[in-house]
Amino acid sequence: MPTLLACAGPGMKPIPRPLANPVHADYYAAMKLLVLALCLPLIACSQSRGVGNDTGLFGTDNGTAMTPGMRPVRVGEGGPTFNACATAGQVVNLSPSGETSLPVRAAPFVEADEVVRLANGARVYICTRTIDQRWQGVVVPPADAPDTDCGVLAPVESPRGYAGPCKSGWVSSAFVRTISN
């Protein structure tokens, strides 16, 4: 008696197929389709080799390190009745870690590009912070005019990314002390 093998694997038994009866032939044809329908998802979900780590996958070289890019500092988070940046701060505590200047980064990540470096005692406007409070979004007045308001000492209608005349970026919260509200 010929047999039909259903997804041959360990522990699977062949399904006997008698060829003499046409009623059984239709039943077994339906069983073939059922077995095929059940086996296809297993094949589709199986791990393929070499695809995930191929160089050039999706037109990019996977050997290139990913960078965090840029995240604009948001101003106006206090609402339309408060200044765009509600707090001023000062760079402090650089010498305990051996640093001579504090990098202001384009995004709240150590790997992000540096926008500018600040000396100990430099003033900044603190506009926002990350959820974990490790990074503060700041606007940096020019070193030769530290009292410049940079367009952040007046309210803005709604929160938005800073687009004023001064540099802006992200600094580690450990190196900035609030000096006014």
- For position 95, what pLDDT does the model report? 73
Choice among 54-63, 144-153, 167-176 with the minimum mean pLDDT: 54-63
Q: What is the pTM of this model?
A: 0.62
Q: Is the pLDDT of residue 172 over 50?
A: yes
- In whole angstroms, what is the distance from residue 28 CA to residue 1 CA? 14
Q: Is the pLDDT of residue 50 over 80?
A: no
- In whole angstroms, what is the distance from residue 29 CA to residue 35 CA? 10
- For position 70, what pLDDT does the model report? 86
Mean pLDDT of 46-70: 53
- For position 147, what pLDDT does the model report? 85
Q: Is 90 helix (H, G, I), strand (E, B) or coil?
A: strand
When comparing pLDDT for 96 and 111, which is higher? 111
Task: Give the bridge partners for 125, in sequence order.
Answer: 88, 139
Mean pLDDT of 123-127: 96
When comparing pLDDT for 158 and 93, which is higher? 158
Residue 99 burial (CB count, 10 A): 15
Band of pLDDT at residue 115, cut at 50, 70 and 90 = very high
Q: Determine which helix (DSSP H) or strand (DSSP E) holds 76, and give its type and residue range.
A: none
Which amino acid does the sequence have at 77? E
Q: Is the pLDDT of residue 7 over 60?
A: no
Band of pLDDT at residue 44, cut at 50, 70 and 90 = low
Q: Determine which helix (DSSP H) or strand (DSSP E) holds 44, and give its type and residue range.
A: helix 22-45
